[in-house]
Amino acid sequence: MKKRLIPLALLALSFCPMQADDVSLGYCDGSVISQQVDASGQTSVAVKFADSDFSMYHGSRIIGVRLGVASDLPAGVTVFVRDQLTGDNLYTMQTPALYQGWNDVEFAQPVDYPKGDLVIGYTIPQGGIGRSGETWPDGYWMLENGTWKDHSSEQGGSLCIQALIDGESYGVNDAALLRVDKVTAGKDKPFTFSGVVRNNTNADLDHFALSYTIGDVTTEQEVSLESVLPGELGSFSFEATAPSTTGKYTMTATISSVSGKADEFASNNTAAAELDVLGELVKKRVLVENFTTQTCVNCPAAHGRLKEALQGRDDYVLVAHHYGNGTDDLTAPSTSDMQWFYNSNKMFAPGLMIDRVNLMESTGPIFVVPESKTITAMLDELGAERAPVAVDVLRNYDSATRKLKIRVNTHVVEGEDVTGSPVVTVLLLEDGIIAPQSPGYDNYEHNDVCRMFVSEVYGDPVIYVGNEEVRRDYEVDVAGKWNADNMHIVAFVSNYDKSDCNNCHVYNATEVTLNGQDDIPTAIVETTTNGAAIGATPVAAYTLSGQRTGLDGSASGIRIIRMSDGTVRKVAGSLR
């Protein structure tokens, strides 16, 4: 026997989920309520099912609703069913008390699904309106000052409202392909093809067939997914292989059958997304620069917020500049040049700069350290960006002489483009420094302390030609008072716009421990005083602003010269 809806009054004693042959049509799939909209006075909200997407339900019987609320509602709500937001009610009812979470409400009599749009909503006297899942078009409407306003695109998910449709009144076999996800992949490499479908049948959906086309190649794919209830949404994924040529492709997918039977509605079977194929996938690491000083009384609390935001992540590089509230014994030489990034005569600590991007609409990219959840959101956003350059560090440290050799290798990823004036910046950091810290700490542990700018403070210019590797070599003495066992090397590539500190976005960063004996090969031992190998010839010339010039020596002023051995020279006048 088919299970029917249980009247709401009995749900307080016994809750039973809907049987799969009844359809629960909505945008949030009965998932845990994750967002609350507080209604301080009488408020009306609704979801809309556009006829263009849901015409297969015409003529079926709506037998109730499921409502997810974020607080107990002793007075219940007034439910309404319409064929347009401003139209007359096809059905309305006052519910008994609702309880925080999901509530099934049975109608006193079925309502025929209209031939047109379907609108289902409720009016709440006050309390918590529930939202969850993803944002979808028409998933969140609210009546404001007599006018319905669409909030569907706002973060926080869709309204927790579902129409309950009698499965015996509905027998269409259809799955709607709602989305195919954009992907970045390495050429000839496997990638995850994923998307979202809606189960427009009256049975659980656990497999369907589709074909997908990338370029001029079409592939048939049988897709398995975790069982999706009738009317609800489900995510799917499978492994595919990227083309062997870099570039931007359009992936087009079309559902051909549902649970082994023909799909009856072709109009919702196809979706497309962009596939970016690169020469390689490079891990992106976000540069996090913390501005702190020993005399800063608010810095320990800021350190705690930053530590909480970084916990469990491996997609960042952290640097502590002892600057902002004056300087201290741990301030590296030339750190005062970092004042430029404040873009103001008013420095402060604690301060934060992430990937040298202006994230807080301040005068410069340095901002006061916010709450940990705000930092996390910033890291998530910047960490999701693709890394257009690869950065690799080789080092060879001689503990007897304390001489350190560093080679930074970097190249633009095939399929990406780097414009502006890219620079490489290299720093030495030290952990585990025990020193005083305000307020009142005598033995505070200072970590990730910038001890030295190996490169210029604002970076050394690099000239990329296609995807060729560019190298930068350095040799420095590690001070005797520094603990080499606790030190690491940070290198990053960024843009440098000397006229605008807000246009110095970091492309990628990396770090390695200082201790190590990497083999740093030298193709030709003899070098000129400029660091270029004997016999190396100029291959490209650029102005300091990055504009390419000729190699004939006719251009005036200082130029950056790319040599055939990968080194870079700065020259004035003729190349001869």
pLDDT digits 0-9 by tens, 237-289: 999 999 999 999 999 999 999 999 999 999 999 999 999 999 999 999 999 99
In a domain, 524, yes or no: no
Residues 84 and 143 in one domain: yes
Q: Which two tokens stand for residue 11?
A: 């749900």
The 10 Å Cβ neighbour count of residue 446 is 20
155 falls in which pLDDT band (50, 70, 90)? Answer: confident
Distance CA 129, CA 122 (A): 10
Instruction: Select from 231, 262, 278 the last residue of a domain.
Output: 278
In a domain, 519, yes or no: no
pLDDT digits 0-9 by tens, 168-215: 999 999 999 999 999 999 999 999 999 999 999 999 999 999 999 999
In a domain, 102, yes or no: yes
In a domain, 521, yes or no: no
Residues 338 and 478 in one domain: yes
Task: Examine the pLDDT at 401 and tell me if it is beyond 80.
Answer: yes
pLDDT digits 0-9 by tens, 445-473: 999 999 999 999 999 999 999 999 999 99
Distance CA 566, CA 576 (A): 19
342 neighbors 323 (Cβ within 8 angstroms): no
Please give the average per-residue pLDDT across 370-376, as a whole number: 97
Q: Is 38 or 162 the better-scoring residue by pLDDT? A: 162
Residue numbers of the domain that contains 306: 286-513
**Among 513, 307, 542, CA closest to 420:** 542
Residues 428 and 446 in one domain: yes
Write the CA distances from 157 to 37, 42, 135, 199, integer angstroms: 11, 22, 4, 19
In a domain, 1, yes or no: no
Q: Is 340 helix (H, G, I), strand (E, B) or coil?
A: helix
Distance CA 89, CA 24 (A): 21
pLDDT digits 0-9 by tens, 41-91: 899 999 999 999 999 999 999 999 999 999 999 999 999 999 999 999 999
Side-chain half-sphere CA neighbours of 382 within 13 A:
24
CATH number of residue 121's parent domain: 2.60.120
In a domain, 523, yes or no: no
441 falls in which pLDDT band (50, 70, 90)? Answer: very high
Task: Examine the pLDDT at 15 and tell me if it is beyond 60.
Answer: no
Instruction: Select from 152, 169, 186 the last residue of a domain.
Output: 169
Distance CA 451, CA 331 (A): 7
Which pLDDT score, from 0 to 100, does residue 564 have? 64
Residues 242 and 300 in one domain: no
473 neighbors 395 (Cβ within 8 angstroms): no
Share of the chain above pLDDT 70, in %: 87
Instruction: Select from 148, 169, 190 the last residue of a domain.
Output: 169
Residues 479 and 352 in one domain: yes
549 falls in which pLDDT band (50, 70, 90)? Answer: confident
Residues 409 and 482 in one domain: yes
In the chain, how many domains are there?
A: 4
| Single-letter amino acid code for the residue at 255 | I
Mean pLDDT over all residues of the chain?
90
Residues 68 and 141 in one domain: yes
Which pTM does this prediction carry?
0.76
Helix (DSSP H) and strand (DSSP E) numbers for the chain: 4, 40
Residues 295 and 242 in one domain: no
**Among 298, 358, 356, 304, CA closest to 324:** 298
pLDDT digits 0-9 by tens, 514-543: 999 999 987 433 333 344 444 566 777 766
Task: Examine the pLDDT at 490 and tell me if it is beyond 90.
Answer: yes
In a domain, 520, yes or no: no
Residues 402 and 502 in one domain: yes
554 falls in which pLDDT band (50, 70, 90)? Answer: low
CATH number of residue 323's parent domain: 2.60.40.10
Residues 215 and 131 in one domain: no
Residues 212 and 311 in one domain: no
Task: Examine the pLDDT at 504 and tell me if it is beyond 80.
Answer: yes
Residues 465 and 433 in one domain: yes
In a domain, 25, yes or no: yes
pLDDT digits 0-9 by tens, 294-311: 999 999 999 999 999 999
Task: Examine the pLDDT at 337 and tell me if it is beyond 60.
Answer: yes
